[in-house]
Structures are given as C-alpha cells and as structure tokens.
Structure 1
Amino acid sequence: MQLSKGIEWSAHILTVLALVPPGKGVSVDALADFFELPGAYLSKQMQLLRRAGIVESLRGKSGGYRLARNVDAITLLDIVRAIEGPMPAFRCTEIRQNGPCGLQREDCKRPCEVASAFAEAEDAYRAALSARTIASIMQDAASNASPAHLVDIANWVQRQLA
C-alpha cells in the first residue's frame, strides 16, 4: 500500500501549525516554503484538512491556517481519512465468482477469505493510526531533535505571525 504524499505533508504541516497561537494563522505559501513543497498542491491538501475539521482558515492580516483541534485530538487516521477518504484500501471484487471454476453467487455465503484477511490487516493498520496523535509525534520529534533546531522552528513560526 502506498499513501499519497499529501498525507506525509499534512502530518508535518500540522506539527508546525501546532505552534501557532489562537487567533493567528500561517499562509499556505509560507508552509510550502518551509518544507519546499509545491504551493498549489499543498493548498489542495489544506482544503481537505479544513473540510475534515482538522484545520481552520482565517482571513485578514493574521490570516492563513491554524489547527481546529488540539494536537492530542488529531490522529494519523484522521489525516488519512481527510486526504484519502474513508474507503478501505482493499476492495474485494468477488473474482472468486469468475472463470471456469467460479463459485455461484448463491454459494458465497461467507465473505471471501482474501477480503477477510485484508480487512483484518486494515483494521490493525487503522487501529495503529488511531493510536498515534500529532501530540505523540511532536513529542517523539522533540526528543530526537537538537534544541537549536527546535528553536529555529519556533523562531520561523514567530516570524510568520509578525
């Protein structure tokens, strides 16, 4: 399974937006520059995050984006659902009913074993994503980063708010 770049970008962007104080926002262009991302594509990801209630947009002098929820209330699964949608990654097409030895529809009383195996794996994957929040990622990142790097990030955010 390959997730879109928008999911990675969104998770990183949310860790930066977590540093933005109430009533302020950071522009998409500034966020795109921070990570050297294409602004137009990032803008689409931000719109999806806004529709999902993860970020909110502010207009005016202090305009831009900010988090709509606390960092401990935003999970990786929330991001995946916002960017990719709620559908499961695997979708059974019942090919067991095709071909010279295909099962008759009426003989398919139980779910397809292949579909069941993928559903079980996806349930575990989604449970793992639900267990990780932006807060937990920020905590891990802070413990692995140098203090100077963390100060650089905080200073960059402050410059965007000025």
Structure 2
Amino acid sequence: MKYSKATNYALHTMLYLAVNTPENHIGVHQLAEHQKVSTTYLSKILTKLVKSGIVESISGASGGYKLRHNWESISFLDIIRAIEGPSSIFDYCVDHNPDCPIQKVIFSAEEKMLNELRNKKMVDLAKQIKVAP
C-alpha cells in the first residue's frame, strides 16, 4: 500500500464531509476550494471513492458528494485502499523464502500498521474536531 497525494486529499475530503455535512451533498468546487486543489484532480479522487462505495454522488444543480448511509464504519484503511488499491507496501522481497527472518519482521510490521488503520474510523476523528475549542 502506498500513501500518495491523492490519498492525502481523499482523507482530508472525507474528514471535511464528516465534520461539516455527513448527510448533505457538497459540490466538488467547494471541496476543491477548501483543499486548494483543482476540481479536475479532486473529481478523479472522488470517482474512486464513489466506485468503492464510500461516498455517494448526486448529479444536477443541487448535487454533489456526501458520505454513504452508514459512514460511521468507514476506516482509514477503507479510504486508503479505495485510492491506492489493496497492494502491500512491500510488494516484493529480495528473498521469497517464507522462512526469511527479515521478511517475517517486515510483514509483521505491515500487519500491525494495517490493523491500526483498520481500527481508526473517520467518525472518531470528526468527533474530536467538532468538540475542539
């Protein structure tokens, strides 16, 4: 799994939606303006989030994007994988031997990171921001 600029924008877009209007649609122009990124670039990111079922898209003058119905269950890992895909950080290993002690350490570390991202929900971060002074 990689962590690109697109993933960074996706995470920030999701947080913005969660904090401001989880039930209402927000246009791509407002979302792009908030992050100071082009609407074209953000539209491509939002398309991936829509295809993965994380956000909903409504066409038309009053359309835009909003979080899916049960958005409280969306994890950081869900968002990252929607943008980057399911690949591993360590896609290749010099030694493909499953008994390789270095490979075991690397894969163990990656699994711990994935569990952390899987357990961190966007709703928890949104709640922290809403109650911050």
TM-score normalised by L of structure 1: 0.72
- Residue correspondences, number: 132
**Partner residue in 2 for 1:130:** 118
The residue aligned with 2:14 is: 14
How big is each residue's C-alpha offset from its partner over 1:65-116, in whole Å with a ceiling of 9 and x where there is no partner?
A: 11114332110000111011011110234x348xxxxxxxxxx4x3433222
- Whole-Å separation in 2 of the counterparts to 1:51 and 1:142: 28
Tell me: higher relative CO, structure 1 or 2? Use CA pairs within 8 A at least 6 residues apart: 2
Deviation, 1:61, is 2.5
- The 1-side partners of 2:90 and 2:13 are apart by 28
Counterpart-to-counterpart distance in 1, 2:77 and 2:101:
25
Written as runs of structure 1 = structure 2, the 5 A alignment for 1:1-162 is: 3-18=3-18, 19-20=20-21, 22=23, 24-93=24-93, 95-96=94-95, 108=97, 110-144=98-132, 146=133
- State how far apart, in whole Å, the 1-side matches of 2:5 and 2:22 are: 27
When the two structures are superposed, what TM-score results if normalisation uses the length of structure 2? 0.86
CA–CA separation in structure 2 for the residues paired with 1:81 and 1:49? 10
Deviation at 1:41, TM superposition (A): 1.4
* Distance in 2 between residues matched to 1:41 and 1:59, nearest whole Å: 18
Q: Which amino acid aligns with 2:53?
A: G
Pair 21,135 (structure 1): closer, same or farther in 2 beyond 3 Å:
closer
Residues 58 and 65 of structure 2 are in contact (CA less than 8 Å); yes or no, is this contact kept in structure 1? yes
Per the TM alignment, residue 2 of structure 1 is displaced from its structure 2 partner at its CA by: 6.2
Q: CA RMSD in A?
A: 2.1
Task: Provide the C-alpha distance between the structure 1 equivalents of 2:34 and 2:117, rounded to a whole number of angstroms.
Answer: 25
User: Within 1, Cα distance between the matches of 2:15 and 2:130?
Assistant: 11
Partner of 1:157: none
Please, which runs of 5 or more residues in structure 2 have no aligned partner?
none
**Unaligned 5+ runs, structure 1:** 98-107, 147-162
Distance 1:40 1:90 in 2: 31
The separation in 1 between residues aligned to 2:9 and 2:81, in whole angstroms, is 14
Runs of 4 or more, structure 1, over 3 Å off, are none
Separation in 1, partners of 2:129, 2:16? 12
Once residues 102 and 62 of structure 2 are traced to their aligned partners in structure 1, the CA distance between those partners, rounded to angstroms, is 52
Is the Cα–Cα contact under 8 Å of residues 75 and 130 in structure 1 kept in the other structure?
yes
Share of identical aligned residues, percent?
Answer: 32
